[in-house]
Structure 1
Amino acid sequence: MNETYSALAAFAQTGGLIYFMILFGIVLAYALWPKNREKFDDAAQIPFRED
């Protein structure tokens, strides 16, 4: 049973790392995509607007 737990823990750690690396890459690509630049630039200026 101990070997099964160790194998499952190693798989979960590796799978989790890969999952979060892929998720980070997707978020980074979305944030840096040229089409989204205007939207993010506009959102960055919100605190400086006076209504």
Structure 2
Amino acid sequence: MMDTYSIFREIADSWVLLAMFLFFIATVLWVFRPGSRDLHRDAAQAPFRNDEPGADMKEARQ
């Protein structure tokens, strides 16, 4: 009879590894899906949305 550790170890070595690999592939395919370029560009510009041109120069003078 196998102990609990050995049973979980066999499950983790096979099925959980396969599930994590499939999750990784699905995530990569979702990120590079057609039409997501605009969403990624918008997310990349999020930190700069509230910036005003020349705002850093105004702060430097004060």
Q: Give the unaligned 5+ runs of structure 1.
A: none
1:17 corresponds to: 17
4+ aligned runs moved over 4 Å, structure 1: none
Relative to the length of structure 1, the TM-score reads: 0.74
Tell me how far apart the structure 2 counterparts of residues 50 and 11 of structure 1 sit (CA, whole Å). 50
TM-score normalized by structure 2?
Answer: 0.63
Structure 2 counterpart of 1:2, one-letter code: M
Q: How many residues align?
A: 50
Query: Which consecutive residues of structure 2, in runs of 5 or more, have no partner in the other structure?
Result: 52-62
Return the index of the structure with the highest Cα Rg.
2
Structure that is richer in helix per residue: 1
Across the aligned residues of Structure 1 and Structure 2, the Cα RMSD in angstroms comes to: 2.1
**Following the alignment from structure 1 to structure 2, what is the Cα–Cα distance between the partners of residues 36 and 12?**
33
Corresponding position of 1:41: 41
Higher RCO structure (Cα 8 Å, ≥6 apart): 1
